[in-house]
Amino acid sequence: MNMLDKGEIASRFKERNKARFFQALFPFSDKENTAIAQEVIRLCALLSDKHRDYFEEYYLLIEEAQKHQEVNSIDTISVLETITKNKQLGTHFIPAFICSTLLRTSYNEDKFDQYKALALLTIARLSYIGEHDSKIKTLSDEIRLFSSGKREDLSGYLPEIIGVNFKDLLNGFEVLVDKSSQSPPPKTVLNQLEYYNRPFKAADKFSEGYQRNVNTQRFRKNGALTVKPRVYLNDEGDAAVEISQLHFEHKHVESWQGEDFADNDPRSLNVITSSDNCSKSEALGAIQAKAIFENLKKKAMHLPCDIYSMTHHELYTLVKSCEDSLFARQDEDIAQLLLLMLITGNTKEQLKHTKNKRCSNQLRQIKWVVRTHRLPSQTIREELRFLTQNISTTILLPLPDFITARLNSFKFSKLQASDLKAYLQSINKRKGLHLTLTKVSNYLSDYCAHRNIDPVIPHIISGVDNKVLPAVFYTQIPSSTLLSHFQDYLSHLSAYSKEGLWHTDDESQLGDDEYIGSPLHIDNKKLRYLFTRLKEQIHENKRRTDVYFSGNGHNDITLMTQFVLMLASGYRPVTGWFGKREDFHLPTGTYWINDKNTSMGDSSRSILLADIAILYLKHYIDYLHQAIIYHGNRTPSLKQRYEKSLTSEEHFFFYRQDSSFDDVTPSNFAQFADKLFPLQPNWARHHIRSLLCHHGVAPELISAWMGHQDMGKQAFHSFSQLSQSQLKQVSHIINQLFIELGLGSDI
């Protein structure tokens, strides 16, 4: 018997791998295999030469696909539906990805087809090599999930594939997945990019595959833990208080869901530490912890009577003492640090990690504090950017020269907290005051709260973690407004100082026409076009009764009413979005909203709908009544569904596909609304929060409308002074918006 040499064995294994691949690619009957073969040929034909030249597998794929040509075949969508229906996505993942088709018309189809074709050749090569099953499955699944619209976050990061060669594409992925970069993608997106990068890189290098031993002994936690930054009550001695809220979050599929759940925690822990707690009794410790937490809740309200807030006398005494120290060059570093804490609203530890920018002259003096403000909504795929505002992620806050003239950095490595406390204690003894480090670092937020300045402003100035304030995710602010508030704050600090001492020569920035924050405060002209186009379509549908009451006619009416309610209410995207018929009281315009039903206790709220929104609701209700009559004898199941909408047995809104119907979920909404306005489902919350902020509405009132909850207190809790009548102010502003959008007439 002749022994095979190593080369012959490798060749035989490669041929066996090829046979296994084609068996996995064409596993069905002739009709299904023909549909798959036609798609393979189409993909190979459209792939750019700049990528195709790297893959000799192209010719073998074409040759094999041509063996499966039948006169009669079915479409690829039907093949994918069969695989899904039979629950075989885990088995037939290669045919499933081949048969996947873009469901959202707003996506760049050419770019998707190039990625899909390149993935096919990559999978073919890795299959020939062998032992790359994991990479093949994850790449196949990613292409299929992208086609169904379940990779919206990823779409904004995928490198450009058209016009570049395979090597350049790999370099683009390497830059994106580099974890040492200054602004890497979110962790979820990073993992999804690696699902493309690893197979592409392995195909490029002809890497040998390997098998990983996996057992079932894994810890799988239900959700993820996130910890909010510390909140300090005081710094008396070493009695620092730490509050950490542990959020048991859902594993969100898309980043916008993290925005809406930022202040919607079904379970949370408030961990309180205090060095003064010497009691061995758990009961006494719990009482003390509760008292500390209640004081923190009260402190978050910024009441005038708060003993932990700095008084005007304390402020100006501190500023004067620090100025004197700087001019006398005694305790100069302490004075610099305290003034920087006062200006930025940061603690010593936070300031140490704060970036700065120096002037370009020979002195290289520190001139600005650099704040970077990034939000999940700022990552938008290229084809949708024309809908949104251009956003700057960096803002420079100018500093007075007398503070930074002899300052090398913000590290202050030679200073300890005890040095700062000793300096403040010496002032306290001389002046009979009670200055603390906590008062100094918290003064910026106290100042803004007492002047009714939106809390997003001090949040951006201080550069605090976005998890602290839910409103940050939804708010767009002109850079000039932010800088104007910052200059006003500096003027306030220098009220009793020598004239011109606190002057900054950076006034030119105030004229910059840039925005910071959310890009989803949409221009009114674009919104007007959206509603005009949809209204024209509905009027066109009315010309034929069968079209008006068809699935498309129903969906157009439904989407129009939902778009209006999204702007009128700020309702979070949830299953059963917009509730039931019984949630509306049309005579008073009251709308009961319960979009935080995973929270413990009652977290619902009531708002007052704008007059125009009520008209659209009435129009939708009339449509439901007419649809009941129309479908009475034609489609009894549809008639019953319309009746259940009116009687609140089912949710008020639903979508139709032929004679079947789908519930209103965020994913279904995204699918049906994609052809009209393909932005993330909660874009209206961004638009309304920014609109109300621009109109100067009180932050507490905006929070009541949006359903924000901070530090465990709801908008209308027992200490709140808000009343339902104040909601009319918000309702009026939104009604004016509807008039500007052309919704006030010809409904």
The rounded mean pLDDT for the chain is 84
What is the Cα–Cα distance from 674 to 663, expressed in whole angstroms? 17
Burial of 499 (0-12, 13-18, 19+ CB in 10 A): exposed
What is the Cα–Cα distance from 652 to 549, expressed in whole angstroms? 17
Per-residue pLDDT tens for 472-500?
A: 999 999 999 999 999 999 999 998 888 88
What is the Cα–Cα distance from 211 to 620, expressed in whole angstroms? 58
Cβ neighbour number for residue 698 with a 10 Å cutoff = 15
What does the pLDDT read at residue 567? 95
Per-residue pLDDT tens for 192-220?
A: 999 999 999 998 888 876 544 444 444 34
Strands (DSSP E) along 258-334, which ranges? 268-273
What letter does residue 253 receive in the DSSP assignment? Answer: S
The band of 525, judged by pLDDT with boundaries at 50, 70 and 90, is: very high
Which range (99-108, 297-306, 459-468) has the least confidence?
Answer: 297-306
> What percent of the chain shows pLDDT beyond 90?
49
What does the pLDDT read at residue 4? 42
Q: Which of 661, 681, 662 is nearest to 670 (CA)?
A: 681
Reply yes or no on whether the pLDDT at 29 is more than 50: yes
Reply yes or no on whether the pLDDT at 544 is more than 70: yes
Per-residue pLDDT, averaged over 407-422, amounts to: 91
Give whichever of 508-522, 530-544, 652-666 has the largest mean pLDDT: 530-544
What does the pLDDT read at residue 542? 93
Reply yes or no on whether the pLDDT at 287 is more than 90: no
Per-residue pLDDT tens for 573-605?
A: 888 899 999 999 999 999 998 876 555 555 678
What does the pLDDT read at residue 361? 74
Per-residue pLDDT tens for 118-161?
A: 999 999 999 888 888 899 999 999 999 999 888 888 888 899 99
Per-residue pLDDT, averaged over 421-439, amounts to: 93
Reply yes or no on whether the pLDDT at 686 is more than 60: yes
Which range (132-136, 279-283, 385-389, 598-602) has the least confidence?
Answer: 598-602
Reply yes or no on whether the pLDDT at 262 is more than 60: no
Reply yes or no on whether the pLDDT at 242 is more than 50: no
Q: Answer whether 148's CB lies under 8 Å from 100's CB.
A: yes
Only one residue has tokens 């229906």, namely 85
Reply yes or no on whether the pLDDT at 570 is more than 80: yes
Angle between helices 187-205 and 133-147 (to 10 degrees): 130
More confident residue, 64 or 599: 64
Only one residue has tokens 């095979």, namely 4
Which range (182-196, 258-272, 374-388, 596-610) has the least confidence?
Answer: 258-272
Per-residue pLDDT, averaged over 94-110, amounts to: 90
Per-residue pLDDT, averaged over 249-258, amounts to: 61
More confident residue, 222 or 442: 442
The band of 510, judged by pLDDT with boundaries at 50, 70 and 90, is: very low
Reply yes or no on whether the pLDDT at 711 is more than 70: no
More confident residue, 692 or 16: 692
What does the pLDDT read at residue 533? 92
Per-residue pLDDT, averaged over 430-443, amounts to: 92
Per-residue pLDDT, averaged over 737-745, amounts to: 91
More confident residue, 688 or 506: 688
What does the pLDDT read at residue 537? 94
